[in-house]
Structure 1
């Protein structure tokens, strides 16, 4: 009988307590901090205040929010879900403050964008620097990947991809053509002037990109070459070339800063840069805004 009464009390507390913004702020601070001390610092209160507040909130909800271990406080699934809601509330509040300050409508929310590390470095960052300061309430989550699947799995909202054949289930626009050229550092080019390409040390992507245009071209035109260095990203390939360790076929948007083409663009091995999103994302103002800004500011050579 006692256990039934206890359950009834817990259920009554959980169903009648109205969680408010300070509760969400408390949960978010402890999720972010992981310990009472760091959560207290984030909230600008003392540790005992955080400890008592968490105990009171758990009692009011009738559910455990955090599990204590040696590392600190681990959130339960309920606390993790509430922390996500707290972040959205935090962003909405910040957007409202900015709207009051600017006296107009504010684009807010979180947009997830994926691209390769080379596109991030060579094309995306210069574009973001031009327009993102004008959207202080917009949060951008960046991930680097060569896979289209992260859009299909809804892990991202927008993608910048190098391809001639974007998936048909995605929508977007072609931003232009990307060409590849065999390049070396200026010092390496001087030192090896007159040498045949096949006699030079080559730097190439490893098996993560077996059909990369540079790989296909090298196999066709220099079948006897075995790369001296193999990297798991085109940005790493570029940095090894810049360091003077050898030559590589690089996209034209990564040239510059001491890199020197050793010949014309690789014939028949150009590709395209596509700006892509999922059809369902076109209803999200934050995604549409970022998509349009990228379309205007991402510039190919």
Structure 2
């Protein structure tokens, strides 16, 4: 069996269609198609089912794909080991992080990582979409969600805790709401998901209450949301890390502390594609972030216990 043809087959399956495979491999579509047909003739089996839009492996194709992925990853790892022998850790890692968590929590981690590994190029995107990961534009994505997509590898980075909060000046002037349903009529500051009605769920004991929200300040930029809260423009519903230092200083007051709030998702996950060979640089960054996330969760638990 020609290992180069097997590698080509793996790339075609990963790409999902011949045109995308040709783009990734910097070949013509006709050349990719010819080499695939030649590989199927050599094997004596149909390996792919072709539709007008996508290709899918047959049963024998799927088995061959799994073997091919393992062989490709081992070859890449061996090549990298030889290339980097005796050198400092190098490479490029494309990382996508949430706008809020990335700015308020992960920035310090990434700066520390870069100081430890100056030879690694960090290409960091601040956004909240998963699509770029699926399209191969980033290696790793960190996202807030309730359940990770089943087609991705998801590493647990811990819970996300939301708070309702307002500036001390706003509270002095307007007081604080006593019931969760009052959030419906208050000037509200939060993020939103395009095309979805915004709801906050509150849990206290075994009770669950849900309130439909009509925010007056909406943005995916959490620095702007924090500034709006500090300016006294209303009540914010944001992850606790956005205003943690402001609460500590007394500039912001939290509301409904007895409630556990959920609005967009209650967990942080690190996501990446299955069967993807991670360079040493990417693997090192993954473990570094997970270690910092576990440390951050321990510190959060200690703060909660001491409150």
* TM-score strictly above 0.5: yes
User: What is the alpha-carbon distance in structure 2 between the residues aligned to residue 243 and residue 170 of structure 1?
Assistant: 40
Select 1:205's aligned residue among 191, 196, 205. 191
Contact persistence 2:190–2:238 (CA under 8 A): no
Tell me which moved more, 134-143 or 164-173: 164-173
Aligned-pair Cα RMSD in Å: 2.9
User: What is the alpha-carbon distance in structure 1 between the residues aligned to residue 218 and residue 160 of structure 2?
Assistant: 22
User: What is the alpha-carbon distance in structure 2 between the residues aligned to residue 241 and residue 268 of structure 1?
Assistant: 18
TM (normalized to structure 2)?
0.57
Distance apart, 1:244 and its partner CA: 1.8
Contact persistence 1:178–1:251 (CA under 8 A): yes
Distance apart, 1:209 and its partner CA: 7.2
Distance apart, 1:228 and its partner CA: 2.3
Distance apart, 1:195 and its partner CA: 5.0
Query: Is 1:145 aligned to residue 127 of structure 2?
Result: yes
User: SS in structure 1 opposite 2:201?
Assistant: helix
User: What is the alpha-carbon distance in structure 2 between the residues aligned to residue 178 and residue 121 of structure 1?
Assistant: 15
Aligned residue in 2 for 1:23: none
Aligned residue in 2 for 1:278: 273
CA distance change for structure 1 residues 123 and 135 in 2, over 3 Å: closer, same or farther?
same
User: SS in structure 1 opposite 2:148?
Assistant: coil
Contact persistence 2:88–2:119 (CA under 8 A): yes
Give the count of matched residue pairs: 198
Contact persistence 2:99–2:220 (CA under 8 A): no
Segments of structure 1 that go 5 or more residues without pairing to the other structure are: 1-94
Contact persistence 1:161–1:274 (CA under 8 A): yes
Distance apart, 1:115 and its partner CA: 1.6
CA distance change for structure 1 residues 181 and 268 in 2, over 3 Å: closer, same or farther?
closer
Equivalent positions of 1:233-252 (< 5 A) are: 233-252=221-240
CA distance change for structure 1 residues 179 and 284 in 2, over 3 Å: closer, same or farther?
same
User: SS in structure 1 opposite 2:92?
Assistant: strand
User: What is the alpha-carbon distance in structure 1 between the residues aligned to residue 120 and residue 195 of structure 2?
Assistant: 33
Distance apart, 1:263 and its partner CA: 1.9
Aligned residue in 2 for 1:289: 284
Bigger radius of gyration: 1
User: What is the alpha-carbon distance in structure 1 between the residues aligned to residue 259 and residue 197 of structure 2?
Assistant: 15
User: SS in structure 1 opposite 2:94?
Assistant: strand
User: What is the alpha-carbon distance in structure 2 between the residues aligned to residue 290 and residue 211 of structure 1?
Assistant: 36
Aligned residue in 2 for 1:171: 153
User: What is the alpha-carbon distance in structure 2 between the residues aligned to residue 294 and residue 183 of structure 1?
Assistant: 28
User: What is the alpha-carbon distance in structure 1 between the residues aligned to residue 176 and residue 164 of structure 2?
Assistant: 15
Query: Is 1:229 aligned to residue 217 of structure 2?
Result: yes
TM (normalized to structure 1)?
0.58
Query: Is 1:155 aligned to residue 155 of structure 2?
Result: no
- Cα deviations across residues 26-67 of structure 1 (Å, max 9, x unaligned)? xxxxxxxxxxxxxxxxxxxxxxxxxxxxxxxxxxxxxxxxxx
User: SS in structure 2 opposite 1:283?
Assistant: coil
CA distance change for structure 1 residues 241 and 194 in 2, over 3 Å: closer, same or farther?
closer
User: SS in structure 1 opposite 2:270?
Assistant: strand
CA distance change for structure 1 residues 226 and 273 in 2, over 3 Å: closer, same or farther?
closer
Select 2:102's aligned residue among 116, 120, 138. 120
CA distance change for structure 1 residues 119 and 194 in 2, over 3 Å: closer, same or farther?
closer
Equivalent positions of 1:18-97 (< 5 A) are: none
